[in-house]
């Protein structure tokens, strides 16, 4: 597994080669359509540089310049991260990277993959998530066209001081939870949980409002998490990760429908299952590895939560699953079937 970030040429190749259709040949190089892509992380974030920029370049190249994607990182178009999906639906942005878990209960099928222990490596989880949404998520993002669904690697517990080896180490600790499901589990294990967007986490760690957070290693570099914490705890090798939040790349449906047939096809050819797989693969092989390496180089302690301890945490998560099944049922879904399908897809692998 390479620990080096993928360069632009490699990422473009990884997205796959799509030949220009006759309708795209000979277009003028002036853009016919400009799409604004909005997201919440700073421009130094790996996802911005190693996925979104190459993706935008690929659309421009294959459309012979007819499509221009302008990328606005760090909420430059205004608003807060939980508002990104609504910004796409309302047309404030044409495309956005949104986290359904920031609006708990609104996109319950997509949020299911954020439950505790519903994570393998990012590529496998991303493929499972995309297939789950194909089967159960129709209509969940009304007014929007999902372009990709992906996941990060399993989250780790990053602490300001001593590492977490057992639930006893969580007693009374204030932890920033990544979503509602993990918040329920951490509370059951004895922690005091809070939730706010990842963009506000630095302040919380710096001023001691929180003792730690639950995040993948990929978030370490852009937020200098290695400088704010002294230890990281990860699930035993071979076990499922603690959690993995759902990510969605969404496009305004009206904007998509307004495109010419050939440009819509070009968008289709550069989205869907393979884009989801690619985003998960790059996240796992490049972003996660680079973040962990930075933690190691800083000299922070990395510990493994052993399999027996993880087993007790999974037992503690049973009420979390039951609550989520009830929530899915209330939303008109078959919650039991969805949870069973998630586990089946994860067990099948990518």
Residues 220 and 279 both lie in one domain: no
Residue 143: predicted pLDDT: 97
Q: Is residue 335 part of a domain?
A: yes
Boundaries of domain holding 280: 28-152+245-289
Q: Where are the beta strands (DSSP E) in the chain?
A: 33-38, 67-72, 95-98, 144-151, 156-159, 174-176, 192-194, 212-215, 231-235, 246-252, 301-305
For residue 13, what pLDDT is reported? 44
Let me know if residue 114 belongs to a domain.
Answer: yes
**Are 115 and 253 in the same domain?**
yes
Task: Show the tokens assigned to 48.
Answer: 């911005």
DSSP state, residue 65: T
What integer pLDDT is reported at residue 196 of this predicted model?
86
**The whole model's pTM is what?**
0.89
Q: Both 82 and 187 in a single domain?
A: no
Is residue 222 included in any domain, yes or no? yes
Identify how many contiguous H helices and E strands the chain contains and give both numbers: 17, 11
If one counts the domains in the chain, the total is 2
Q: Do 213 and 103 share a domain, yes or no?
A: no
Check residue 305 and give its pLDDT.
97
User: Do the domain assignments include residue 144?
Assistant: yes
Euclidean distance between CA atoms 345 and 348, whole angstroms: 5
Residues 87 and 175 in one domain: no
The count of other CB atoms within 10 Å of the CB of residue 137 is 21
Same domain, 50 and 138: yes
Q: What is the pLDDT of residue 29?
A: 56
Domain check: are 70 and 89 in the same one? yes
**Domain-located, residue 20:** no
Tokens of 7: 């360069």
Q: What is the DSSP letter of 100?
A: G
Residues 49 and 162 in one domain: no
pLDDT in tens, 174-195: 999 999 999 999 999 999 999 9
Claim to verify: residue 115 and residue 233 sit in the same structural domain: no
Instruction: Quick: pLDDT tens for 150-182.
Output: 999 999 999 999 999 999 999 999 999 999 999
pLDDT tens per residue, the chain (350 residues)?
333 343 433 444 444 433 333 344 444 457 899 999 999 999 998 899 999 999 999 999 999 999 999 999 999 999 999 999 999 999 999 999 999 988 999 999 999 999 999 999 999 999 999 999 999 999 999 999 999 999 999 999 999 999 999 999 999 999 999 999 999 999 999 999 999 888 889 999 999 999 999 999 999 999 999 999 999 999 998 889 999 999 999 999 999 999 999 999 999 999 999 999 999 999 999 999 999 999 999 999 999 999 999 999 999 999 999 999 999 999 999 999 999 999 999 999 86
pLDDT at 31: 87
Q: Do 96 and 38 belong to one domain?
A: yes
pLDDT, residue 304, reads: 97
Q: What is the pLDDT of residue 199?
A: 84
Same structural domain for residues 142 and 56?
yes
The CATH number assigned to the domain holding 205 equals: 3.40.190.170
In this predicted structure, what is the pLDDT of residue 238?
86
Tell me, yes or no, whether 22 lies in a domain.
no
Residues 330 and 228 in one domain: yes
């Amino acid at each position: 597994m390479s620990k080096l970030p993928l360069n632009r040429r490699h990422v473009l190749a990884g997205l796959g080669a799509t030949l220009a259709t006759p309708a795209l040949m000979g277009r003028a190089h002036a853009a016919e359509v400009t799409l604004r892509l909005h997201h919440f992380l700073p421009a130094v974030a790996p996802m911005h540089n190693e996925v979104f920029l190459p993706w935008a370049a690929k659309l421009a190249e294959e459309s012979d310049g007819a499509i221009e994607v302008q990328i606005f990182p760090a909420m430059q178009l205004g608003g807060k991260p939980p508002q990104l999906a609504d910004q796409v639906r309302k047309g404030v942005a044409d495309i956005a990277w949104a986290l359904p878990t920031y609006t708990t209960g609104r996109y319950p099928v997509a949020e299911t993959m954020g439950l505790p222990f519903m994570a393998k490596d990012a590529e496998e989880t991303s493929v499972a998530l995309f297939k789950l949404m194909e089967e159960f998520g129709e209509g969940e993002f009304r007014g929007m066209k999902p372009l990709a669904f992906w996941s990060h690697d399993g989250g780790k517990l990053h602490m300001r001081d001593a590492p977490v080896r057992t639930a006893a180490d969580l007693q009374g600790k204030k932890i920033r939870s990544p979503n509602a499901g993990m918040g329920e589990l951490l509370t059951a294990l004895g922690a005091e949980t809070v939730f706010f967007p990842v963009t506000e986490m630095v302040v919380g760690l710096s001023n001691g409002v929180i003792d730690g957070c639950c995040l993948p290693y990929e978030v370490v570099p852009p937020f200098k998490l290695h400088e704010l914490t002294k230890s990281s705890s990860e699930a035993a090798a071979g076990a499922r990760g603690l959690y993995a939040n759902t990510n969605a790349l969404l496009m305004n449906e009206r904007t998509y429908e307004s495109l010419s047939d050939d440009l819509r096809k070009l968008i289709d050819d550069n989205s869907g299952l393979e884009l989801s797989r690619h985003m998960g693969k790059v996240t796992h092989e490049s972003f996660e590895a680079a973040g962990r390496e930075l933690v190691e180089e800083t000299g922070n302690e990395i510990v493994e939560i052993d399999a027996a301890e993880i087993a007790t945490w999974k037992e503690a998560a049973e009420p979390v699953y039951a609550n989520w099944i009830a929530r899915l049922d209330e939303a008109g879904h078959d919650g039991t079937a969805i949870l069973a399908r998630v586990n089946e897809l994860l067990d099948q692998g990518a």
